[in-house]
Amino acid sequence: MATSHRHETQATSGILGFARLPIILVVAAMIVGLAALLPLVQSSGATTTVGDITTLQRQRDDWQTRLEEEQLKVAQMSSLNAIRQIAVERLHMGEADDIRYITVDAPPPAAEDVPSRLLPQEKQQTGNSFFDDIIGLLP
């Protein structure tokens, strides 16, 4: 009988000699452990997002700098001195020896030929204000 009691004790003890924990306690411990990791996962995701945002902001700043450099080049190239220098050096042009002016007696093209979206916007005149009406009545 002593051997059967010892056999039951060994069967119910775990690896470290402790009694087996019920399965519910093991599952609960795993859930608590996983829940403890949740803030770590969230903070690592936020850190990754912040890193991505910082990288994108640097790229935007680099592109903005490049854009400003190109705008400066365009402004420099559109100056009269730059145009004259290119005309002389690359196109081998020079000052004209004989300048002739030609007059054209034809009327200018009609305004309807230009699409309305390209015409300058006209300011719409609104009616006089009450204040303007009163001043208009004064002698």
Kindly list the domain boundaries of the chain, sorted by start residue.
67-93
Per DSSP (E only), the strands in the chain are none
* Residue 26: predicted pLDDT: 81
User: Strand, helix or coil at 49?
Assistant: helix
Q: Going residue by residue through the chain, which has 139 residues, state the pLDDT in tens, using 9 for 90 and above.
A: 445 445 454 545 555 545 566 788 888 888 888 888 888 777 777 788 888 899 999 999 999 999 999 988 888 888 888 888 888 999 988 888 888 899 989 888 776 666 666 666 766 555 567 777 777 777 6
On whether the CB atoms of residues 54 and 60 are closer than 8 A, the answer is no
- What are the structure tokens assigned to 65, written together? 């700098």
Read off the pTM.
Answer: 0.36
* Residue 133: predicted pLDDT: 75
- What are the structure tokens assigned to 76, written together? 């420099």
